[in-house]
Amino acid sequence: MIAVLKRLASIRLTLLWMALLGIGAALSYDNPVDTPVWVLVVPLALLGVNLLAAIITNTRINRRGGLLIFHVALLGIVVLAAFGRLTHMEAHIELVDGMGFMPERLINVRQGPLHSGRLDQVHFIQGPYTVEYRPGMVRGLTHSHVLIPDGAGGWERKVVGDDRPLILEGYRFYTTFNKGFAAVLTWMPDGGQPETGTIHMPSYPLFEFRQANRWTPAGASEEIKFWLQLETGIDPEGAWVLDARKSRGTLVVRTGGRRVELQPGGTVRLEHGVLRYDGLSSWMGYKLYYDPTLQWLFITSMLGVLGLGIHFWKKFANHPWPQPDDGGKRSERDASRGGKAIIEEGRVI
């Protein structure tokens, strides 16, 4: 049994599994949809077996307390990393001001085969946001206001940013550069019930001059093209703040060879119904991230640092640092050990 473990603990296998892990990391870069999670999990599992075998068979590890703690923590990191890949989840979502979170609106969803979070228990409502820009259109801080249940039948306000996530049920929501405006529309079909919804325009100010989208009402033969003329106070050369509450937008509607400009509250008669432009709103894009191992990874890493610190403390304690000399002089006995010269009175003789 020990012979088998020693083979599994081979440093050559360590290098081979690390190479496989590097290949898996390259294939998983940016988390492509067509790359299975096993390209990371399998090399991590093999490294875990290799490290466990080394801990059991290598006396230079298991007989030194500090090194043992370090390697056990390292093994824990490998196991947690593999488990995290099996249970993780990443996705994106766009929420309009006033809209509540709905799991079915998630896009670009990627998750491990063992993911079993409580996404259905996540509740919050999107509010307004501001984005600071420095001269040269350099994006600064994002302040996205959301409302979450306070547990007493009311709502609590939170501010979310690129580095200040909203954490609910273990899911972390980060704001992204992807945000923009939306036109709130009401479609009143002939002989039907009015329906209100939003048309999202491309990300702003990334696509400042391409604020356009299109939509075809049910039963209509021609699509409706929309173009949003915005007044946001944008200043490419100076500092400014993007705030939809202080922005204005004229909606240009094109269909059937017609071009109509609508202000908030304006209507236009189209094929099979009437379209009303209710006003300008905004939407914020979030990145959702879930990994239940994050806190345990931190604790295990600190344990590894502690073990390594204990190891080197004991090592240096057994070999004290050399003491400074007294005025640059050494005794004839100390100097003669070098076999080169004798130092006396600061002179070489």
pLDDT digits (tens, 9 = 90+) for 297-347: 999 999 999 999 998 898 887 776 666 665 555 554 554 455 444 444 444
Across the range 83-88, mean pLDDT stands at 94
Supply the pTM of this predicted model. Answer: 0.81
In tens, the pLDDT along 6-16 reads 899 899 999 99
* Position 348, amino acid: V
Across the range 216-242, mean pLDDT stands at 90
**Degrees to nearest 5, angle at CA 93 with 88 and 97:** 140
The answer on pLDDT for 258 being more than 70 is yes
Across the range 250-269, mean pLDDT stands at 93
Same domain, 162 and 229: no
Same domain, 6 and 56: yes
Domain that holds residue 240: 183-281
With respect to residue 218, please indicate whether it lies within any of the assigned structural domains: yes
189, 241 contact by CB (below 8 A): no
* Pick from 131, 125, 91: nearest CA to 286: 91
Same domain, 36 and 77: yes
Q: What 3-state DSSP class applies to 279?
A: strand
* Position 150, amino acid: D
Same domain, 152 and 202: no
Across the range 246-274, mean pLDDT stands at 92
pLDDT number for residue 32? 77
Q: What percent of the chain has pLDDT over 90?
A: 73
| C-alpha to C-alpha distances, 51 to 196, 211, 300, nearest whole angstrom | 60, 55, 16
pLDDT number for residue 324? 65
In tens, the pLDDT along 29-76 reads 877 777 888 999 999 999 999 999 999 999 988 888 899 999 999 999
The answer on pLDDT for 348 being more than 50 is no
Maximum alpha-carbon separation in the chain: 115
pLDDT number for residue 349? 37
| C-alpha to C-alpha distances, 154 to 95, 100, 122, 160, nearest whole angstrom | 21, 15, 15, 19
Same domain, 228 and 244: yes
pLDDT number for residue 257? 85
pLDDT number for residue 326? 55
pLDDT number for residue 339? 47
From 178, 210, 226, give the residue that closes a domain.
178
pLDDT number for residue 323? 67
Same domain, 299 and 276: no
With respect to residue 340, please indicate whether it lies within any of the assigned structural domains: no
